[in-house]
Structure 1
Amino acid sequence: MPPKLNPLPPLSQLPLNEGDPPHSAWGLWEGQDSSLGSLNYLTDELVLKTLREEVRTGARIGLDLPLDFFNPPLLGRAGFEQKVIDKAPLVVNDDIITFNTQGSSQWDSLRHFAYQKDQKFYNGATQQDIHAAPRTSVNDLQGWTEKGLAGRGVLIDYAAYAAREKIAIDHFSPHGITVDVVKAIADESKIEFQPGDVLFLRTGYVDAYRQLSKDRRVEVAGVREWCGLAQSRETTEWLWERQFAAVACDSPGFEVRPPTDKAWHLHPILLAGWGTPIGELFALDALADACRARGKFSFFFTSAPLNYSGAVASPPNAVAII
């Protein structure tokens, strides 16, 4: 079972320490591995319980997009490159790949995004701490990779809901999904949230991108607007009270950009404030089909991020098992 935080302080009592950034929860995991943040919820007991309750068929669904899926790459990031090496005279091949770790499906580490005004990352780390020497380990992913991420995933399929309700979505412009809509989808999907869940939000961004022409993909590569969870106090309070181990989406930023309410911008609160990983550009279409087919929107989830010192982000290497 997840570690108990009795009582979980209300959002109104954050930050926990005077002088810390707004809504931060530094010190919440005192006595445990605080560098893991909300991944502390993913205990051995929780993983075993989830395996017993969620795995019924053994069917596996990969949740990573191809590393070269976005072409040209989004947000001005470096694209994927591969060099295949013929090791003649042996009939053997090697290959070398280079890519931005945030160029396709990705986890954001806790050194990715800071409180901009306070210039502090999770647990008070600074840019000076991170760049003090080549490849420092402050807030990187190696703590995650010792056991990997595993637990119960829950899918909020907003794309399917919007289609049923005839809600038009321009995935490449601001389209905020309110927490009230998320709760309505959860109710109709019969999702009962549990502490330590990994929340997946499907907006349909990946499917919409897949259908774009080559010229339109060039245009979208420079667009810094997209659909996602709408920011608000109510949204932040709901996320805090659900005690998610991590959150993920199929859009470039999980939350809508530009924000509907800048005061509740979720990247600094989740990553730098709570130590909650954010997944972006996950492949959720096949998972949504499988969940609809069996009428169940929870599943066992596992992820093995890349293991090297100083990682800012990583492909998730994620699989849902049902």
Structure 2
Amino acid sequence: MVAYVFPKFEDLPPVPDAPQGCLWGFYDRDGQKDEIGSINLLTPEVVKEASGEIQTGKHVQLDWPLDSLKFPTWGRKILDHRLLDMSQTEQKSYAFDDEISINTQACSQWDSLRHWSASEQHLFYNGLTYGEARESKKRGIHNFCDRGGIVGRGVLIDMVRYWAKIGQAAPDPWGSYEITADELDAALADQHGTQTKQGDILLVRTGYVQRHDAASDPERQEGTQANFRSIGLAPRESMLRWLYDRHFAAVVADNVAVEALPSPPDNDYPSLLLHDWLLVWWGTPLGELWNLEGLGEACSELGRWTFFLTSAPLNITGGAASPPGAIAIF
């Protein structure tokens, strides 16, 4: 059994070219550079314990349909789906094939550890340089697949439910509202005192998918393509410390970037992009644009916000991202 005992944030050993709090080397073993970051926390013991969440057999898929995001940002293409008629009418044989072309950032996704480099140092997780990333398959999404996918206990923080419960108008998901660590704690407490554990997979429902699905196409274009704002976790030191102290295996949201966009100019901590900290300095995969609507309904119905979570990303050697193929089981 591998037990991971984390030092306090301030006590982490310094890493060249990285800020205080970097975890590079923490998961390395036998002289080999680690490739999967905090997915290491999903040990057999953690997964076995998580299986105890399966009590009713109810299950919910968490992938938004691949063609849902009608107007992606940053020039990303939408799904191109061709249904190929393979029928041979003379032989009375009828069949169809699919051909699809997608950008894995324009749908529900996992970001692998080669998707994002630190904004200032231009390094990927565990010191991988841009040149090495271009010329190798290191830190690719296939490493999660080689390990058997992503399996563990999921914990939903349903902010939409919480705001409604306390009588607060929900913020516009297409605005740059910052969800604070205090709000996350309050929502957890309101969810019958839900507790998180090391190795949990955190999911946060912000209302982004709900807003998109209820909008017209002109509203969607204005809200998701012409607008570079999004609700999300506050890119602040308080959020950074909150996430570090809980040691999640992965962090997921239903919005476009997990963190609020744009990053505020008055950050109270140097280079505080959560993409930098989670993907680069800690090696924690990010899930974005997941459909958490059905999950929120199931959690409210059952009165519990923890569940068994299984995810099988596409096995793309060297891939930067993948649809999650995620299912929550209660």
2:257 to 253, 259, 269: 253
Q: CA–CA distance in 1 between the matches of 2:219 and 2:82?
A: 28
Show the 5 A alignment for 1:2-41. Answer: 3-6=2-5, 8-14=6-12, 16-31=14-29, 34-41=34-41
Q: CA–CA distance in 1 between the matches of 2:195 and 2:301?
A: 19
Q: Which residue does 2:277 correspond to in 1?
A: 269
| Residue identity in the other structure for 2:168 | K
Query: How much has 1:167 moved relative to structure 2?
Result: 2.9
Q: CA–CA distance in 2 between the matches of 1:79 and 1:229?
A: 26
Q: Which residue does 2:195 correspond to in 1?
A: 192
1:318 to 299, 310, 326: 326
Moved more, 236-245 or 31-40: 31-40
1:231 to 232, 235, 244: 235
Contact 1:75-1:224 within 8 A present in 2 as well: no
Q: CA–CA distance in 1 between the matches of 2:143 and 2:81?
A: 29
SS state at 1:4 partner: coil
Contact 2:155-2:200 within 8 A present in 1 as well: yes
Query: How much has 1:234 moved relative to structure 2?
Result: 1.5
Q: CA–CA distance in 1 between the matches of 2:234 and 2:263?
A: 7
Contact 2:252-2:290 within 8 A present in 1 as well: yes
Contact 2:17-2:121 within 8 A present in 1 as well: no
SS state at 1:201 partner: strand
Query: How much has 1:4 moved relative to structure 2?
Result: 2.4
Q: CA–CA distance in 2 between the matches of 1:214 and 1:59?
A: 33
Show the 5 A alignment for 1:70-89. Answer: 70-89=69-88
Query: How much has 1:14 moved relative to structure 2?
Result: 4.3
1:207 to 206, 210, 214: 210
Q: Which residue does 2:143 correspond to in 1?
A: 143
SS state at 2:55 partner: coil
Q: Which residues of structure 1 form unaligned runs of 5+? A: none
Q: Which residues of structure 2 form unaligned runs of 5+? A: none
Q: Which residue does 2:66 correspond to in 1?
A: 67
SS state at 2:161 partner: helix
Q: Deviations over 1:182-216 (max 9, x none)?
A: 01111121211111000000001100111111211
Show the 5 A alignment for 1:110-149. Answer: 110-132=113-135, 136-146=136-146, 147-149=148-150
Q: CA–CA distance in 1 between the matches of 2:16 and 2:115?
A: 24
Contact 2:14-2:20 within 8 A present in 1 as well: no
Q: CA–CA distance in 2 between the matches of 1:60 and 1:16?
A: 43
CA RMSD of aligned residues (A): 1.6
Q: CA–CA distance in 2 between the matches of 1:170 and 1:251?
A: 12
Contact 1:75-1:223 within 8 A present in 2 as well: no
Query: How much has 1:20 moved relative to structure 2?
Result: 2.9
Q: CA–CA distance in 2 between the matches of 1:15 and 1:158?
A: 35
Normalised to the residue count of structure 2, the TM-score between the two structures is: 0.92
Q: Which residue does 1:181 correspond to in 2?
A: 183
Normalised to the residue count of structure 1, the TM-score between the two structures is: 0.94
Q: Which residue does 1:157 correspond to in 2?
A: 158
Query: How much has 1:251 moved relative to structure 2?
Result: 0.3
